[in-house]
Amino acid sequence: MKNYKELLNKLLTNKLEEKDFLTLKTNFKNLFKKALKNYFSADVERLFRKHYGSDYLDVLSQELFLRILTQRETLMSLEFIHENYLLAMAQNIIHFHLASEFKMLKAEVNFNDLLPSDDPEQQEELKLEETLPKVFIDYLEDIEVKNLVDTIAKTFSKKDLETLCWYISKSVFQTNFTVDVKRDLLYKRWERLKPKLSQILPRDLLHEQKSRKFCEAVMSEICQKLHLIKK
């Protein structure tokens, strides 16, 4: 009978190491697999795969992490946290997405929503920079970056994608992404592309670490594939 108390205490007190986080992440994905298999029809699993892609279990696990953070006081007061407790939370999350008809799709995580609005002392206690482990913040950033890159890949034209790859290659990595267009025209394309990007990219992408992650993801998920297509 697995007790999650120790791992969740570490999560909620900012003492979770990376290996513990990976263990929780794997366990959460298995919980959602179990919930979908035992309590829902195969059609429900197909719906999640349709709306969230092959990594739908990562999306659901992310939400379970956030639900746990919002229930910090309750979970900290429990002496034993059985797997069935978390399994019930997983079922509720699945029901929520079904009831909302997946309208939460790609909704940006707002960390401020995790803070209570009527208790200043508790707000101080739950400030995310003090309570969230770095491995969890990195995990959320990775998911956000992936969603941004997927959106750009699906909505931008091939010409815009080539321009973005050219600019990132030149300005960030000091490498050359070959485009069969004169340099002056590329700069004009880039000026036209910037307003489109500003409508998609969040302001905090200016943060150096997240910006680097975004650029690396664009290079691997978009630019590399464009070069492969050319060949």
What are the pLDDT digits (tens) for 113-154? 333 444 554 444 444 444 556 677 777 788 788 888 988 998
- For residue 230, the model assigns a pLDDT of 58
Domain count, the chain: 2
Question: Do 19 and 38 lie in a common domain?
Answer: yes
pTM for this one? 0.60
* Phi, psi (degrees; rounded to nearest 5) at 194: -55, -45
Do 142 and 126 fall within a single domain? no
Residues 43 and 73 in one domain: yes
Residue where a domain terminates, one of 107, 132, 157? 132
Looking at the structure, tell me whether residues 112 and 163 fall in a common domain: no
204 in the same domain as 93:
no
Tell me which of 109, 132, 155 is where a domain ends.
132
| One domain for residues 148 and 86 | no
163 confidence band (pLDDT: 50, 70, 90):
very high
Both 126 and 18 in a single domain?
yes
- pLDDT value for 113: 39
Domain that holds residue 221: 138-230
For residue 107, give both structure tokens. 């909704």
Domain boundary among 100, 132, 164: 132
Say what the alpha-carbon torsion angle 94, 99, 102, 104 is, to the nearest 10 degrees: -90
User: How far is residue 227's CA from residue 179's CA, in Å, rounded to a whole number?
Assistant: 10
